[in-house]
Structure 1
């Protein structure tokens, strides 16, 4: 049917709703690469005018990716909660924006509304928002999950401790873990990207992580970020698999590129639940996403990368996860060109995930061929903490020597907690306090025995 809009006396036509969504998106290199970005700032304004007056219910009748060919679309529409959507059925996208920014949108009302929002709805409303709007609304959302500790409660800021090593050397990994623990990192998860996906290697890493956790009695969860089918095989072999990890995307074809489907993810979740390794909760899944994944797989169906990223959150939402994080600047400048685009994408992703009811974290990161630097990461991390991000990823010295990209350092989490007054997950905070590592009044307490921790990790004679 097409959509029409006028801006400054110039008429613009958009053939499809997907074209409107793409043209309304803030400038980013991935959409330009796909040939779907707005040709001018004026066209972007015209597209946003269309979105502003578009009834939310349109997204329930006009699929951006065809229902017949895509199981993610079928998941979104077949599981949509009509009762939760009822208060918003008569609203336009613009009216939803106004409601989200109003006092009527509280943690409770947003939690109740989440099942009624589709990814396309939240992606659309994000395109009408300034950065401060994304922060204000996301800050209202509270999403709490649990496994061996409780994550996401107000007043907390958690971290994934990422001790990657280019040779998967156990001592090198242990040194990184000790460094992270001494800075208060690791309550969300101690998660390794293995240099080798060999099942024997992954099994050995899992055993080492579990022995370390038990030795120091750390109330956290471990994860070796191997393919989901490997995790199932490792569970069958008796490996101590806490969380089942998988990268996911917003279309069936893009997920096929990752070697997964909804049925494979469902089987994996069932295996994780059957293991029963959680002590205070059973959120066993960990998902990772990133804008541009579908485009890089040639599986974007002409839909903009930010909307497809939001659709990836529908996949995650179907398997109530402990953790979800966008790796916001990892894919490269073809998708997010510079620090400004990375910053905007990070705030969008966090907003959309939280609005859909997910425990959102962010890997605040960039590759060395992107027009960005660590100052950009400082800015984004600080804004995300103000927006109430559940967790951030931290690596030794902000430099992941195995994956070859820049992230946040362990010391950054100390700065962010000091700045915001937030603490680690309560069970982990109590553990830090027992070791004299908890931070209070903006200062680090004396460390009674870091050498003793090192000995228990096998790092000293």
Structure 2
């Protein structure tokens, strides 16, 4: 089905829904690389006019990738909740956008409709929104998950402590972990990207992290971000697996490029659940996504990168994850060229995921060959905190020496928590207090290394 719109006497035609959604997207380098997107600002505005008048039900009935050939499409269609969709079924995309910004769309109502919202609906609405609209709607949504602590509560901002090391040196990882804990980070997860992605190395890293967690009674989760098939084998060998990690994407072909399928993810989830390591809940999955992943695999099926990214959240939603995060600027300037595009993509990803009921976090990051710098990341981390992001990733000095990209630092988490009056996960906050690592105002005792039992271990006289 073709769509059309007129602007200043010029009539624009869009051959199908994929073309319309791509033309309505804000400009970004990945869509240009794929030969998608609007050819002019006027065409982009015309596409948004046409999109605004499109009924949500039409999007529901139009498959972006054929049902018969794509398991992500089948998942989206087969899991759609018609009862949850009913309150918004009469709306157009423009009407949906306006309703989302209204007082009627409060926290409870948005949670109730989430199972009825498809990724394409969320992506379509986001294309009609300014950044402040994305922030406003997302800030109304809370998606709460639990394993050993509680992530996503209002008034909290969790963090993934990422103590990567270029050679997986155990002492180096341990030192970075201790450093991060002293800054009050790591409540979402202490998660290591292994330099050597093997079962044996994964077991060794998990054992070390679990020993640290157990020794100090830290109410958090640990994870080695190895391939899901390695994690299944680690579980079979008795490894200390809390969370199962996997990068995912929005089409079956893109997931296949990661060496994964929905069936393998289900097998891994069942294996992790069988361990019963969670004390407060059983959300055992951890997923990472990122705009450009499907395009880089040649598996985007002509869909713009933001819409196909939103489809990945349908995969995540099906497995009740503890954590999901977009690595927003990690793939490179071929997909998100500069700071403006990275900031916009981060806000889009967070909005779409939360609208779908996914517990979304973000790796606020960029590569050194992108037209971006740490000031851009300061802006995005601040905007995401206002938007109610579940967690952010932090690394020593904001510089990941193993993955060779720039992220946020431990200090950034202190800044955000102090600036906005948000704290760690409540169980983790209680642990910091039991360890005498915070003052009576909830601030970390950073200036005196003699304070706190954990801090004394790091001091020269500990």
Task: Return the TM-score normalized by structure 1.
Answer: 0.98
* Offset at residue 385 of structure 1 (A): 0.2
* 1:12 equivalent in structure 2: 12
Q: What SS is found at the alignment partner of 1:135?
A: helix
Q: What SS is found at the alignment partner of 2:56?
A: coil
**Do the aligned partners of 1:66 and 1:73 also contact (CA within 8 Å) in 2?**
yes
Q: What SS is found at the alignment partner of 2:201?
A: helix
| Per-residue deviation, residues 59-93 of structure 1 (Å, max 9, x unmatched) | 22111111111110010011100000001111000
Task: Give the distance between the partners of 2:460 and 2:444, measured in 1 at CA.
Answer: 24
Residues 1:229 and 2:229 aligned together? yes
Distance 1:439 1:353, change over 3 A: farther
* 1:340 equivalent in structure 2: 340
Task: Give the distance between the partners of 1:143 and 1:131, measured in 2 at CA.
Answer: 21
Task: Give the distance between the partners of 1:205 and 1:460, measured in 2 at CA.
Answer: 27
| Per-residue deviation, residues 39-67 of structure 1 (Å, max 9, x unmatched) | 00000001101110000001221111111
Task: Answer with 69-78 or 449-458: which moved more.
Answer: 449-458
Task: Give the distance between the partners of 1:318 and 1:40, measured in 2 at CA.
Answer: 38
* 1:438 equivalent in structure 2: 438
Task: Give the distance between the partners of 1:460 and 1:169, measured in 2 at CA.
Answer: 24
Task: Give the distance between the partners of 2:219 and 2:288, measured in 1 at CA.
Answer: 22
Q: What SS is found at the alignment partner of 1:174?
A: helix
* 2:176 equivalent in structure 1: 176
* 1:219 equivalent in structure 2: 219
* Offset at residue 7 of structure 1 (A): 1.1
Pairwise mapping of residues 409-420 of structure 1 onto structure 2 (< 5 A)? 409-420=409-420
| Per-residue deviation, residues 75-113 of structure 1 (Å, max 9, x unmatched) | 001110000000111100000011100001111000000
* Offset at residue 437 of structure 1 (A): 2.4
* Offset at residue 291 of structure 1 (A): 0.1
Task: Give the distance between the partners of 2:224 and 2:442, measured in 1 at CA.
Answer: 33
Residues 1:85 and 2:88 aligned together? no
* Offset at residue 434 of structure 1 (A): 1.7
**Do the aligned partners of 1:436 and 1:447 also contact (CA within 8 Å) in 2?**
no
* Offset at residue 439 of structure 1 (A): 5.9
* 1:284 equivalent in structure 2: 284
**Do the aligned partners of 1:159 and 1:186 also contact (CA within 8 Å) in 2?**
yes
* 1:393 equivalent in structure 2: 393
Q: What SS is found at the alignment partner of 1:57?
A: helix
Residues 1:367 and 2:347 aligned together? no
**Do the aligned partners of 2:163 and 2:191 also contact (CA within 8 Å) in 1?**
yes
* 1:43 equivalent in structure 2: 43
Structure 1 residues without counterparts, runs of 5 or longer: none
Distance 1:285 1:134, change over 3 A: same
**Do the aligned partners of 1:5 and 1:12 also contact (CA within 8 Å) in 2?**
yes
Q: What SS is found at the alignment partner of 1:324?
A: strand
| Per-residue deviation, residues 293-330 of structure 1 (Å, max 9, x unmatched) | 00000000000000011000000000000000000000
* Offset at residue 453 of structure 1 (A): 2.8
Task: Give the distance between the partners of 1:300 and 1:72, measured in 2 at CA.
Answer: 12
**Do the aligned partners of 1:225 and 1:246 also contact (CA within 8 Å) in 2?**
yes
Task: Give the distance between the partners of 1:454 and 1:200, measured in 2 at CA.
Answer: 31
* Offset at residue 443 of structure 1 (A): 4.5
Q: What SS is found at the alignment partner of 1:201?
A: helix
Task: Give the distance between the partners of 1:358 and 1:162, measured in 2 at CA.
Answer: 22
**Do the aligned partners of 2:449 and 2:458 also contact (CA within 8 Å) in 1?**
no
Structure 2 residues without counterparts, runs of 5 or longer: none
**Do the aligned partners of 1:363 and 1:407 also contact (CA within 8 Å) in 2?**
yes
CA RMSD between the two structures: 1.6
* 2:198 equivalent in structure 1: 198
Task: Answer with 428-437 or 446-455: which moved more.
Answer: 446-455
* 1:356 equivalent in structure 2: 356
* Offset at residue 457 of structure 1 (A): 8.2
* 1:142 equivalent in structure 2: 142
| Per-residue deviation, residues 414-438 of structure 1 (Å, max 9, x unmatched) | 0000000000000000011122323
* 1:453 equivalent in structure 2: 454
Task: Give the distance between the partners of 1:365 and 1:280, measured in 2 at CA.
Answer: 31
Q: What SS is found at the alignment partner of 2:361?
A: strand
* Offset at residue 366 of structure 1 (A): 0.1
* 1:61 equivalent in structure 2: 61
Task: Give the distance between the partners of 1:457 and 1:227, measured in 2 at CA.
Answer: 33
Task: Return the TM-score normalized by structure 2.
Answer: 0.97
**Do the aligned partners of 1:215 and 1:456 also contact (CA within 8 Å) in 2?**
no
* Offset at residue 444 of structure 1 (A): 3.7
Pairwise mapping of residues 71-150 of structure 1 onto structure 2 (< 5 A)? 71-150=71-150
Residues 1:311 and 2:314 aligned together? no
